[in-house]
Chains A and B, each alone.
Chain A
């Protein structure tokens, strides 16, 4: 039993899309389906401009509206708090798509199943990091057990003052961002 989460340090992310494509390969996704998407915000006016880059994927909410609204129970949380979809139970109704405030749900046009980031559960069960973490060229991502106060992620969340996205929504997301 663990409570897995991720830290994304946006100050180290150069929007290289390495994580997006690595994830597509890992999960056998077609080119037009990606579990990781990016927001880019420009502030200021020339020449005093800055940009902020925000990689977003399923936040593995502790209190996931997608799960609550799933009529068949296809969306579930495993013992380690990873939110997953059972493709045999998913009927493709897309209730989760509209209820996810992070727009993390990706319908698969071929199977009808709605998919999303799975925290690479097969890798994690082997004691490895998710692929997006392993491949990140900027080492912007840290994965680990939020319940273990000595894990790298727990320590770095405190040190870097990382906070979840839209904590106000009450979804209790488990991805922490440094902004």
Chain B
């Protein structure tokens, strides 16, 4: 029999100890017989989409007597394909969470709030924001969004209305480096056509940990068709059951691997010459540089043998264009190392060498349907704000994402004075929390819209509670792809807390207070109707179906004009040169290196958590508790040398702080690093279930920013491990 990480007996004992939780469980507890006996009584099924991660899969919500019972998947949704992951199922319990924010609040002292009316909130926020902007200019105001459609529409519109360009997303700590590398090299982020590929290399990205159901299914389909799957990761992640081989790379050296694989394609002339001559610029300069990066050279840096590097490059060339290094997300080059932007560039260029762009089994730029607009004559659009952004020193980073992690620094410098933050948690998740708190506290006005008291909400001047995603209507969502889709989020149940207000109303009311109400003289329904009108869809049709696929597929085999400066693949990049960086991709060392007595602290996702947002959902944090999965992974040989055993309590020590955690001793990890999953370390005392579980890598991360990609370089962190009590 296999062994579970925790013995059954201990598990049962642990359950008994947590029985107290039962009474506060989010779902009303009944025996199953009762549950199913009730079934006939008023059961409805309403389509909407999920809010547990950025995939936003289509859901069917089953409501029994006005209460959410369970969710299932919308078969048509391109990312969900009828399936729902653990997070999707469990998040449906959040309307009933005992930690919900239920009324608007105003800070009266450090850590102290008093309830206020919405009228007072709108009035005070509108007045203060107006004063701040009059005194310091509109550039002193920033907006930070979670990647959801209502914020994406209302946020920029509100910014334009007040004259600010400062839109920010959470990508600073997610995909900024990759996006920057890809945008300037191939003009955007394509989707990998994994299902039809013959050879797929994942660098840091794990479909089994950062689950998107359609991606898992695509990979399984590829496997069934005989594809070869390689995982490049310092850690044998949970995609392992679907992989053929694991390259346990030295963390921070992925760039060297990709450069050397590219070297093989170029020196052995295995690349797609026709594609390169027709669709790229600067190949000769690139070729000169790439000659230095031989597989022998990379072997020393990465720890991966030159034979392996040569074999993989050759085998990929044999099946090109149905081969790819998957485009990843945060993975090993989203926000991780000092060289992540260049890893992103190198990966995009390696794929270009395979000629896989817009080819079956390769990289495909999806389509987005052309949406309609509100009628200008009735609903005036504010003029586009043109003043410089506060993160202007990162010229290569897209303005659609921005560098949110530097906002606290700008606040300290007195450049940013006011911030509006929606359902995202910069304090806990964007960089070192001490630094974030210190910076954000120098703001004159900080407003947070959320559903629970996050670490960020805890230090705000005003906290405004929203209904959850199941209790409100949102702006429609577009899912780009080979066949794009339009989905709708709609109210599934009545508001659980009557005094919550959705973000679109909050924007509208604050704008009114500031005399800008004319720009917001419409409802979400009116807006949605206008947006989908050109597609020949009606709102009632969309609300009934949930998701509608636009049957106007991408034409494969035709390389589009790329959205780079030259319209082609850029092996030589003028924008990088202008910004003071190397125009050609080249090897760059990671920022820090552990020695024989220390470790690099790395992190990554688990399939049942999204950032730290889901850690407060009892159904998900219970998985963590049952399987001890908040533990720190450490290589068995290193642990043995240090006299550490599985389950030992250790102290993780860095320049900044100490964390206590138990260890998971395993052969699944490179000896030079330790791994902590990314969903833990909540310290807000109002997050009952999440508080105190595990720690966050960010606690140990010094505040340092990658000047190219605008990321806090989350894996550039050295720690020591010592046994507690020794």
Interface residue ranges, A against B (CB under 8 Å): 10-18, 20-22, 24-34, 37-42, 44-47, 49-54, 87, 103, 107-111, 113, 115, 118, 122, 131, 134-139, 166
Contacts and interface: CB of A to CB of B under 8 A. Distances in A.
Nearest to B8: A103
Contacts of B363: none
Contacts of B3: 39, 41
Interface in B239-255: 239-242, 246, 248
Given A42-B668, A49-B236, A52-B2, A16 B622 contact: no
Contacts of A103: 8
Contacts of A21: 86, 89-90, 608, 619-620, 623
Contacts of B619: 21, 24, 31
Nearest to B90: A21
B618 A22 contact: no
A122 B15 contact: no
Contact of A47 (B32, B248, B622): B248
A31 B21 contact: yes
Contacts of A13: 241
The 3 closest A-B pairs by CB, nearest first: A14-B208, A39-B2, A25-B70
Contacts of A122: 36, 39
B240 A50 contact: yes
B4 A46 contact: no
A135 B22 contact: no
B273 interface: no
18 contacts: A13-B241, A18-B85, A18-B89, A18-B607, A21-B623, A25-B27, A30-B27, A32-B15, A38-B4, A39-B4, A42-B668, A47-B246, A49-B236, A51-B236, A109-B19, A131-B72, A134-B72, A138-B220
A30 B207 CA distance: 28
Given A26-B70, A38-B4, A20 B22 contact: no
Given A17-B86, A29-B29, A38-B4, 11 more contacts: A10-B241, A12-B242, A16-B86, A18-B89, A28-B29, A39-B1, A40-B5, A54-B2, A87-B33, A113-B31, A135-B83
Interface residues of B, number: 76
B288 interface: no
Nearest to B93: A25
A90 to B, nearest CB: 10
B217 interface: yes
Contacts of A14: 207-209, 211, 216, 238-239, 241-242, 607
B671 interface: yes
Contacts of B82: 134
Contacts of A166: 1
A42 B667 contact: yes
A136 B626 CA distance: 21
Contacts of B209: 14
B31 A16 contact: no
B608 A138 contact: no
Given A17-B607, A22-B89, A108-B31, A46 B239 contact: no
A143 to B, nearest CB: 15
A31 B86 contact: no
A137 B240 contact: no
Contacts of A115: 32
A124 to B, nearest CB: 12
Contacts of A52: 2, 241
A66 B246 CA distance: 42
Contacts of B92: 25
B184 interface: no
B239 A137 contact: no
B666 interface: yes
With most chain B CB atoms within 10 A of its CB, the pick from A20, A131, A136, A137 is A137
B36 to A, nearest CB: 5
B241 A12 contact: yes
Contacts of B85: 16, 18, 137
Contacts of A30: 21-22, 25, 27, 29
Nearest to A165: B1
Contacts of A118: 32
With most chain B CB atoms within 10 A of its CB, the pick from A37, A49, A50, A135 is A135
A95 to B, nearest CB: 15
A131 B84 CA distance: 11
A51 B2 CA distance: 11
A137 B83 contact: yes
A131 B18 CA distance: 26
B724 interface: no
Contact of B69 (A15, A25, A113): A25
A41 to B, nearest CB: 4
Nearest to B9: A103
Given A27-B35, A46-B248, A138-B217, A18 B83 contact: yes
A78 B22 CA distance: 30
Interface string B62-85: 000000011111000000001111
B73 A135 contact: yes
Given A10-B241, A17-B608, A20-B86, A110 B668 contact: no
B667 A44 contact: yes
A50 B245 CA distance: 10
Nearest to B241: A11
B642 to A, nearest CB: 15
A135 B668 contact: no
A179 B541 CA distance: 45
B627 interface: yes
Nearest to B243: A50
B637 interface: yes
Interface string B609-631: 00000000011111100110000
Nearest to A39: B2
A9 B608 CA distance: 21
A11 B70 CA distance: 28
A13 B208 CA distance: 9
With most chain B CB atoms within 10 A of its CB, the pick from A11, A27, A28 is A28
B636 interface: yes
B241 A53 contact: yes
A28 B27 contact: yes
Given A26-B70, A38-B627, A40-B2, A16 B19 contact: no
Given A24-B619, A139-B220, A31 B240 contact: no
Interface string B125-145: 000000000000000000000
A167 B30 CA distance: 35
Contact of B211 (A16, A25, A32, A40): A16
A177 B18 CA distance: 32
Given A16-B608, A27-B32, A135-B89, A49 B27 contact: no
B104 interface: no
A22 B84 contact: yes
A134 B213 CA distance: 12
Contacts of A45: 636, 667
With most chain B CB atoms within 10 A of its CB, the pick from A15, A103, A111 is A15
B327 interface: no
A42 B211 CA distance: 22
B623 A28 contact: no
B16 interface: yes
A51 B668 contact: yes
Interface string B180-215: 000000000000000000000000000111010100
A13 B607 CA distance: 12
Interface string B7-29: 01000100110110110011111
Contacts of B27: 25, 28, 30
A41 B2 CA distance: 6
B635 interface: yes
A135 B220 contact: no
Interface in B211-239: 211, 213, 216-217, 220, 236, 238-239
